[in-house]
Amino acid sequence: MSRIELDACAECDLLLTPARPAVGDKARCPRCGYLLQRPRKQSVARTFALSLTGLILILPANLLPLVGIKVLGNTRDGTLWSGVLTLYREDMWAIAILVFLSSILFPLINIVLSVLVSGHLYFRRPNRYLPYWLRWLRHLEEWAMLEVYMLGIIVACVKLASMADLRFGFGLYAFIALLIVNALLASCLDPYLFWRRIEQLQHKHRHEN
């Protein structure tokens, strides 16, 4: 007995045959009109380009000075990495680990996975790890919280502006650019299209072997 696969509308719970619209087309629920699928044009190419851009930006964003503080003639520059080390040395190791994971490690892994998945799909290179990479990428998106760290930088700058001279470093501009790239990545990556392309690559690879 063959098993019938059905999808449920997220709005009205109507059971439907899985929709497979072409790129640029839309699939809507026949009962409530809810948009079920809309594969985005150039999603793979844009995700690949943005991922490479993020990979270039993440090194200066992490290693170059974000903000320089000058107090009584003494100047000190702060980087993402130095902030983590300072928190750890002040015995705030739990916060240091959280900042390291959410602002350095997870964003780095997220961008590397984006490069791997979109690169393989862009060049049509099958890989048995593609489903695992995309699954991990979708999970880690919730933990890469660069915008929270950016908010912390803004609050710190506002508080320090009246007590010291601030100088914004190249690392801050790279960090802001990385934040924008991450936001664009989240909007450009179409999970439905990516999963469908992975399925097509796997199907083609099985037939060739």
Tell me which amino acid residue 97 is: I
Cα separation of 158 and 161, whole Å? Answer: 5
| Per-residue tokens: 143 | 């933990």
State residue 208's pLDDT score.
67
Dihedral (C-alpha) 98, 101, 102, 107: value to the nearest 10 degrees? Answer: 170
State residue 29's pLDDT score.
82
Kindly list the structural domains of the chain, giving each domain's residue range(s) and its CATH number in brackets, ordered by start: 1-39 (no CATH), 40-208 (1.20.140)
State residue 55's pLDDT score.
93
Cβ(113)–Cβ(182) under 8 Å? no
Would you write out the chain's pLDDT as a tens digit for each of its 209 residues?
A: 445 667 777 778 778 777 777 766 777 888 888 777 777 778 899 999 999 999 999 989 888 888 777 666 666 677 778 878 877 888 888 878 887 887 888 889 999 999 999 999 999 998 989 999 999 998 887 766 666 666 666 666 666 666 666 777 888 888 889 988 988 888 888 888 888 889 888 877 676 66
State residue 2's pLDDT score.
47
State residue 74's pLDDT score.
65
Q: In the structure, how many helices (H) and strands (E) does the chain have?
A: 8, 7
State residue 1's pLDDT score.
44
Cα separation of 132 and 112, whole Å? Answer: 13
